[in-house]
Chain A
Amino acid sequence: DVKVTQSSRYLVKRTGEKVFLECVQDMDHENMFWYRQDPGLGLRLIYFSYDVKMKEKGDIPEGYSVSREKKERFSLILESASTNQTSMYLCASSQLGQGDGKNIQYFGAGTRLSVL
């Protein structure tokens, strides 16, 4: 089974802190994604990566950056956390390619971040 592991289930940080959210997948997937989920807004894509050191902005990249130094690991960085970044953060991975099974996404359990 595909396993996507997010390093923390809950995090509490202070405004202005630098925050790292880590995600590791064990299925050799090329694609990795970071979403945030807020009530009534569904999932919004922050960034995604289709290869090591490659990244592409999603719908809401402002205030975030990412790092993908190894294929299995994708990190989301909040350079200076703000209260409006309090949210549930979800990491996902998928295979590269156009076959149907290749764009199914596998999710981690999520990190609930509170910025005080």
Chain B
Amino acid sequence: SQQGEEDPQALSIQEGENATMNCSYKTSINNLQWYRQNSGRGLVHLILIRSNEREKHSGRLRVTLDTSKKSSSLLITASRAADTASYFCATFRYSSASKIIFGSGTRLSIRP
């Protein structure tokens, strides 16, 4: 079964606005990752946050993790048309033998 569930499933915002996507998961984790997928392409890793971290930044990306609520959020600030893509959270546990489990993704559209 899916470990991560993203919310919302689809999001459309104006260029320049901030985009926030949420991810919830079911079991304990060692880290949580966010990936991006442009239409018809493979996934690209964006950022990883460890279970003992609460917030992490990378350029215009800000990720938060609340292990007590089993949830994470990805914030993209000052969105650009090129940010249009699907975004997936993925969870990792040391007991899972290198496998990570992906959520169903949020489809983000940036209107010019």
Q: What number of A residues sit within 8 Å (CB to CB) of B?
A: 31
- Residue contact A94 to B98, C-beta cutoff 8 Å: yes
Contact flag A100-B98 (CB < 8 Å), given A4-B42, A109-B42: no
- B54 adjacent to chain A (CB < 8 Å): no
A102 cross-chain contacts in B, Cβ below 8 A: 98
Contact flag A110-B45 (CB < 8 Å), given A94-B98, A103-B100: no
Per-position 1/0 for B68-112, Cβ under 8 A of A: 000000000000000000001010101001111011110000000
Contact of A42 (CB < 8 Å), options: B31, B44, B88, B97: B88
Contact flag A100-B50 (CB < 8 Å), given A50-B97, A105-B43, A109-B42: yes
Show 19 residue pairs from A and B whose CB-CB distance is below 8 angstroms, ordered by the A residue: A33-B99, A35-B102, A41-B104, A42-B2, A42-B104, A45-B99, A50-B97, A50-B98, A98-B30, A100-B48, A103-B98, A104-B33, A104-B45, A105-B100, A107-B44, A108-B42, A109-B41, A109-B42, A112-B40
A35 cross-chain contacts in B, Cβ below 8 A: 102
Q: For residue A47, give the distance in angstroms from its CB to the closest CB of chain B.
A: 11
Q: What number of B residues sit within 8 Å (CB to CB) of A?
A: 25
CB nearest neighbor in B for A9:
B40
A4 to B42, CA, bound (A): 10
Q: Which applies to chain A's interface (DSSP): helix, strand, loop or mixed?
A: strand
CB nearest neighbor in B for A56:
B97
A65 to B99, CA, bound (A): 18
A105 to B92, CA, bound (A): 11
Per-position 1/0 for B29-69, Cβ under 8 A of A: 01101010000111111001010000000000000000000
